[in-house]
Structure 1
């Protein structure tokens, strides 16, 4: 008697076998995955950098083709656009540093100047304390065990050296990772069309049946993340500039630094605006409580205007995620990976929400058509 084994049954048995091995040797599996992830981390960071830079690159390529439509000039389109994209990012970073660093220095100087009296008063109190004077009079170095003190000092120096070496190693590792990620992102941007063609060939060869739905999922996630990044950056830039101009007109200090903080805070949905306003109030309160109150009123009005006017116009309904799910995405993302998770889970939830909504509509249409066919 011939027994016919279906390919799906073999796939199911193989999947259960792999799951059994993963559960049985979970420690070795996690260690192997951590090793692979650590080795591939520069490449993963390079992919993220290339994806973000590609959003700017598209705009520069479109502008380049409009300015230089000739066939000879097209050969330099990618190189010129890549240089301009990275140069734009570098200019923005340098500009932020030039705006923030002087404000931080002045803030630290002000805090030191305001608290110098408190520190001097504390020192005078310690020196005039009777217990401190009695201790200093009865202080006798002969009663100390200098061998133990020498060992403690030796341990302290050794611990300090270990800390210094560990810090230096971390800096070198981070620098190496950043350099590799930077050059890998450039390679990805140069050869992105070639990589796309190779990906489509692999899908056509091995996964032709699921290529169309898979590519639809990829496109949905790409649209969600690109719309979110571009929209949030535009809205955050408008909010940061408006905050800077408003603080200058009202005569509130630290306008540059708080404008930058407001920009970066606006990149985080819901919670970012609260964090930016809180930092600004604390810094300004050290200078003038009245100006801190004025800033608080101003930033509340500005954020309400942004939420009701600017954000809908700039971002619109490109994300397509209801506010309740935005709040849920921020909470879940913050609990998993902190601030970075708050920023990344919103477009992730938006893409999943859109895919689920499409699938529900498709199933309901099929269910509505079934009685007609019968």
Structure 2
């Protein structure tokens, strides 16, 4: 019997051989993947930044297109890019301006309140007879200063190494962020051209997979864009309402807690608990009664947001049942912490929609065939 060898057999053999090499030399592959990830990470971060900025860029370009006419339309992209990045910079500067002074005041208050405790601790050591005997028992004449010098040298060297490693990590982080920002600008300037090139590659090499792949990418894009825009709007409304309510109730740290509540509201389910916990701890250092008032206020505000604001602002754009939202938050937090909590919800929403569409399509096929 003659065995026919097709292209599928050759492809399976090549894939099996590559998997064998990857398993056999996994240490080498792991090092290579680690270096590749560290090299590509600034570009991946730039792509994420470009995706987020593009949501703001679309709004500015629509506004510019309505106002400008004729030759002025060629400056639409430049206008949108400048306004988009300026908007993000202004928001970050506003957050820093609101949080840092309040945080400094909180630290100063905590230090002032605990100053008496520190003074009592020092006076205890000074007046305790056992510590006096221990200090007097140290013979400075026979003390080995060489060992002390070596210890101090090693300690100073360790401190220097720590400072150098910290400075190096800061410089590396700043460099990565600068590269990411410049790469995001490049992606946004040439996004139409890059999109056409990607579609041409998919059309050339994708074959039958072209339409399913485009549909999957469209679903993921809709899921993430709807989630980001909706969560940002709801978080801004919740943070502003928290700030106004705390000012009316004359609670301390209204600016800082309002900003913290705004950012933690980006995390579904757990974000409200985190924001309330931070606020209660900070206000409790000032007054336990005010902390209780804040806790009651934030619980009422969260209920209003969950039942009124969130459905109106976000609505059913995500299309993910609450039980799967909770599962996505827990799984994402286990993998990547807070960032994972925010990213896995739209991921689960996109997968949920694709699976639902596929199940509906498969269930409708037998009915159509029997009817014919």
Question: Under a length normalisation based on structure 1, what TM-score does the superposition of the two structures give?
Answer: 0.98
Report whether the alignment pairs 1:41 with 2:51: no
Does the alignment pair 1:55 with 2:58? no
**Which residue matches 1:180?**
179
What displacement does 1:11 show?
A: 1.5
- Aligned twin of 1:65: 65
- Which residue is equivalent to 1:11? 11
Distance of 1:203 and 1:120 partners within structure 2: 71
Deviation at 1:371, TM superposition (A): 3.1
The whole-number CA distance in structure 2 between the counterparts of 1:262 and 1:151 is: 50
- 2:25 is matched with 25
- Superposed CA offset, 1:114-143 (max 9, x none): 111111111111111010111222232123
State how far apart, in whole Å, the 2-side matches of 1:6 and 1:364 are: 33
Q: Structure 2 stretches of 5 or more lacking a match?
A: none
CA distance in 2, matches of 1:242, 1:232: 15
For residue 191 of structure 1, report the CA deviation from its aligned partner: 0.1
**TM alignment of 1:315-334, pairs within 5 A:** 315-334=314-333
* Counterpart Cα distance in 2 of 1:21 and 1:367: 44
Please state how far the C-alpha of 1:370 moved relative to its aligned partner.
Answer: 3.5
Give the superposition deviation at 1:2.
5.8
Structure 1 residues 131-142: aligned runs within 5 Å: 131-142=130-141
CA distance in 1, matches of 2:321, 2:283: 35
Take 1:226 and 1:213, find their aligned partners in 2: how far apart are those partners?
20
Deviates further, 135-144 or 91-100: 135-144
| RMSD over aligned Cα atoms | 1.1
- What displacement does 1:106 show? 0.8
- The SS at the match of 1:143 is coil
Is 1:143–2:142 an aligned residue pair?
A: yes
Residue equivalent to 1:260? 259
Q: Partner of 1:144: helix, strand, or coil? A: coil
2-side partners of 1:83 and 1:89: how far apart?
10
SS of the aligned residue for 1:140 comes to: coil
Say which SS state the counterpart of residue 251 (structure 2) adopts.
coil
Task: Determine the structure 2 residue equivalent to 1:155.
Answer: 154
TM-score, normalising length: structure 2: 0.98
* Cα deviation digits, residues 245-272 of structure 1 (max 9, x gap): 0000000000000000000110001111
SS of the residue aligned with 1:292? helix
Aligned to 2:344: 345
> Could you say which residue in structure 2 is the equivalent of 1:108?
107
Deviation at 1:342, TM superposition (A): 0.4
* Structure 1 position 49, deviation (Å): 0.1
- Counting matched residue pairs gives 372
